[in-house]
Structures are given as C-alpha cells and as structure tokens.
Amino acid sequence: MTHQPDIRPYRGKRPQIAASAYIDPAAVIIGDVVIGEDSSVWPCSVVRGDVHYIRIGARTNIQDGSVLHVMRDEWPLILGDDVTVGHSVTLHGCTIESRCLIGMGAVILNGVTIGAGSIVAAGTLITERTAIPAGSLVMGSPGRVKRVLTEIDKASIDAYAKRYVGYKNIYREEPTA
C-alpha cells in the first residue's frame, strides 16, 4: 500500500503543487494553496488555505510540525523563493520574502512582513503588523532587529535551502510503504 499526502480541496479550491515538489505523506495541504518548484512540506506540517490563500515559492521548505494558516478576508500567507521554515514554526497571515530562514519554534503573526534575506531566530515571536527590513537578524519576544546579517549569515540561508532541495530529491526517490 502506498501512502499519499492528505491534499484536500476547500470550497472548490484545490491545492496546486508543482510536479517537482515533495509533500510528505504525513503532511496536510488544504484549499487555496500553490506550492512552487522544488519546494517541500515535511511530516506533520499543516498548510491550511481555507479562508484566504497561501503561496509558497520555489525551493522553499516547510519543516516538520509547522503550521501555516491565514486570516479570513484580510491576511493571506506568502512565502518567497528559497525560504527555510524550521521545525514547529507557526506562520499566520504573514509575508516572508525570498531567501529567509525562520528558526525552529518561531511564531510570526498576521500582517508581518519579513524582508528578503533575513533570519528570524529560533523561538522568536513577531507580533502583528511588524515590518522587518531586508537583511536583518531578528530575535526575542517580541522580536526585534538585533543586527544586519553578515555574509556568513547570508550563505547559511542559501545552504539550508539547497540542503532541503537535496533531501527532497532523496525522499522523492524512496518508495513509500
């Protein structure tokens, strides 16, 4: 028996998933969701585009146990290209621009924009309607910009995104039973 991911329509909107993406059989994708090329959604993650839309760019990875949701009629959820969403992250009605790393256990709320090329540290809480400038390191609860990213920081963002494209390729080759 082959295990398939739980991909469900909601009110006539069916998720659109690129052929090169990987959705783990233990993930749940619901409603108005678009997932880009070479992206991945890992075990026990929920991507719920029921009352607004979710857009996930290319080469973006949603790691184990993360929850992505939206705010009805007000806040969609948008993730750019090459975004890493660490384990057990909650993203709700926010925009994460391209080449960002969201650390494990972070919580990012409605109306937040994380500028391109930023890192949100593990365990950070970013409150509603906060705008984080591009190239920032954000930490704390509530999250505050601590400094501008170094070249080493920027390289780590790229390395994580590339690593998860590699993992995705391996998992796509494995038979599911």
**What is the rounded distance in angstroms from the CA atom of residue 172 to the CA atom of residue 106?**
28
Q: Tell me the pLDDT tens digit for each residue of 20-53.
A: 999 999 999 999 999 999 999 999 999 999 999 9
- Give the start-to-end residue ranges of the domains of the chain: 6-173
Q: Encode pLDDT of 75-108 as tens digits.
A: 999 999 999 999 999 999 999 999 999 999 999 9
Convert the pLDDT of each residue in 125-165 to its tens digit: 999 999 999 999 999 999 999 999 999 999 999 999 999 99
Name the fold adopted by 6-173.
Answer: UDP N-Acetylglucosamine Acyltransferase; domain 1 (2.160.10)
Looking at the DSSP assignment, which residues form a beta bridge with residue 170?
A: none
Strand partners, 55: 34, 78
pTM of the model: 0.96
